Amino acid sequence: MNGVTREDALLDYPVRRTRAIVDLDALDYNLTLLSARASGAGLVPAVKADGYGHGAAAIAAACERWGATMLAVANLEEYLYLRDHGVTVPVLILEEVFPDEVEAALHEGARLTVGSVEHAELLSRAAGTLGTTAMIHVNLDTGMGRMGLFAADLVEPLLHIAALPNMTMEGVYSHFPASDETDVSFAREQVVQTRQVADALAEAGVAVRYVHIANSGALIQFPDEVSWDLVRPGVAMYGMYPSDEVPKVGLRPVMRLESSLVKVTRYDRKWTVGYGRSWDVGPGSVIGIVPIGYGDGFPRLLSSRGSALVHGVRVPIAGRVSMDMIALDLTDLPEAPQVDDEVVLLGRQEWFSPDARTEARSDEIDALELAELCNTITYEITCGFTIRVPRLYVRDGQVVAIQSMREGYRVL
């Protein structure tokens, strides 16, 4: 992807070398795989947090094209962003909207989460004033301990909510705090509680169209028990696993983070590299500089710990990650590196030497590896990449859209 590429020509300026390639074909593949595990239940892909850092507008459009039943976001701002970018599929807001957001949310037709009787009554009154109907999904707290009505006390409050005017209880749902662990006994208790509430509503004559609880961990570990009306895949649809405790099911990574060498120095003396002078070099050392840093969301915790791929070989990050640059120790590369050689920070790199006598090489750095080095989770890795990193969206080998600091999101 280096040099003047198709997207450069269309945009009339070079796209920054540090870029994220988002594979929409891999996204489609993962959605299809998860749908098969869900036995045909409707998919509600989570596109909150800018599509887990992949770019919400493009990811939402791809999910709508694939056939998602609904999308899920965290808040009203994310909902309006999708509507502003032409997304028409129903969207569920997972947080309760604030009172001053209620009118806009109802006017724009959002599916709204309700976690208390008081909030339901607020929505009912506002919908009456606006002459509309609030489409709500009631959040059941079966163990997450954040928002929602306690499942043990639910039938009477739910019947009250269902009877409120100007309101349709379209859905009832809950959320797992621990479906990605080896021991899923607590998660299974949550399944039973949620199902009991849904059955009690049905017995009371309250028709709820959608009952849902499944997230990525549940779809991977016990799909048959949670594939109800809807399932809500998040991290898995992006080709990442929620933890290292869940089995691998063949997901394909959607994001590849790449850059290029902007400078290569062959040292003829003892020297140090970077802030804090924490990496020593000597005669014969080769150091390459890459224009990426924590200003791009590349974790500083990878200082002197992480790796990058150059010529299909892992090379260490030399010294500290700074705001705009990292250094790589290229001394042991079999071939001499050059300015503009590709560097892969996340994803797979395949390298074919110009020398036909040298065998091709490949390696991969995945989000779980980076997360473990940073003592965090895969979600935080991709969510952390900032607006300074352009996202290039690829389908069938062609760049079809771009999200960048300069232009925002644009279909090419």
Catalytic residues: 48, 275
| HSE-CB of 20 using CA atoms within 13 angstroms | 28
Q: Which two tokens stand for residue 72?
A: 């899920």
Bridge pairing between strands 91-93 and 361-365: unpaired
| Residues β-bridged to residue 394 | 23, 399
Q: Helix %, strand %, coil % for the chain, to 5?
A: 35, 25, 40
Bridge pairing between strands 134-141 and 149-150: parallel
Neighbouring C-beta atoms of residue 372, cutoff 10 Å: 13
Q: What are phi and psi of 305, to 5 degrees?
A: -125, -40
Neighbouring C-beta atoms of residue 364, cutoff 10 Å: 15
Q: What are phi and psi of 329, to 5 degrees?
A: -90, 105
Q: What are phi and psi of 207, to 5 degrees?
A: -85, 115
